[in-house]
Homo-oligomer: A and B are copies of this chain.
Amino acid sequence: MPEDMSHQLLQAMNRRRPAVHCLTNTVVQALTANMLLAVGAIPSMSTDIAEVADFTAGANTLIVNLGTLDQDRKMAIEAALETARENNIPWILDPVLIDRAPRRLAYAQELINSGPALIRGNKAEISALSPTESPANIARKTGAIVAVTGKTDLIANGTQEVTLTGGHEMMSRVTGIGCAGTALLGACLAVAPESQRLSAVAAGLTLLGKAGKEAARNAAGPGSFAAMILDQIYQISQSSLHERKEL
């Protein structure tokens, strides 16, 4: 099922060219933009308080990634979330390394009150949000889909839960594969009907895992892997154009 959904989403991305505004950390901006471009989505990344409302209003999804967070970026996040709320634009929280910095964790918890459609993190990050609760419980309380990525991926929306295997250890040897993956999920949510968001997230992570596994098969190390995972995503996106089912 996720694979069929992948094809449909990729076809829709190629047709609609969704705009994804990414408030994301400076380390992963290039990889993130390139992953979005590989599937035909249109990235933008301005964090300026004077511009962020314009860019967010024109976007189909908003990504809020907490890496390299600073005061200006926090103001931009607030302005962008305000615009997203007014325009009913879904937004995704990527709580990067909140397990390493208590003040960043507190900020992430505050942001969750603004109703993200999806929270995507690794096990340590999602655990930090609420150490005693399961992802499904966090999903129930927040109303967000919660995706915990790692060796296996778990996706929960409070009523359903999906577990995915796939991917490759090499994905953790390149900075930003997780963050760029979050932006890819943003492109998925941009073209999926609201009722199918859980499946769309699963389809997006399936695509990423498949691309990662295939790239790792041929890569001589993390340098060539980073190029090859983009190549794979692009190839899968292009080949989806020859599939029959449309969303």
Contacts and interface: CB of A to CB of B under 8 A. Distances in A.
A54 B101 contact: yes
> For the complex formed by this chain, how many copies does it contain in all?
3
A236 to B, nearest CB: 10
A173 B37 contact: yes
Contacts of A30: 27-28, 30-31, 175-176
A122 to B, nearest CB: 12
Contacts of A230: 221-223, 226
B25 A45 contact: yes
Interface stretch (A2-10, A66-74, A127-135, A189-197): A66-74
A27 B47 CA distance: 12
A155 B124 CA distance: 39
Interface in A149-175: 172-175
Given A37-B172, A58-B100, A70-B48, A222 B226 contact: no
A33 B37 contact: no
A22 B101 CA distance: 15
A44 interface: yes
Interface string A228-243: 1111111100000000
Contact of A235 (B68, B72, B221, B227): B221
A51 interface: yes
A71 B70 CA distance: 13
Interface in A165-224: 172-176, 219-224
A38 interface: yes
Contacts of A48: 68-71
A219 B29 CA distance: 22
Contact of A45 (B67, B104, B229): B67
Interface string A62-91: 000001111110000000000000000000
Nearest to A58: B100
13 contacts: A26-B26, A30-B175, A30-B176, A38-B173, A46-B104, A48-B68, A48-B71, A49-B71, A54-B101, A55-B101, A221-B228, A222-B234, A226-B227
Give 3 closest A-B pairs by Cβ, nearest first. A221-B231, A223-B230, A223-B227
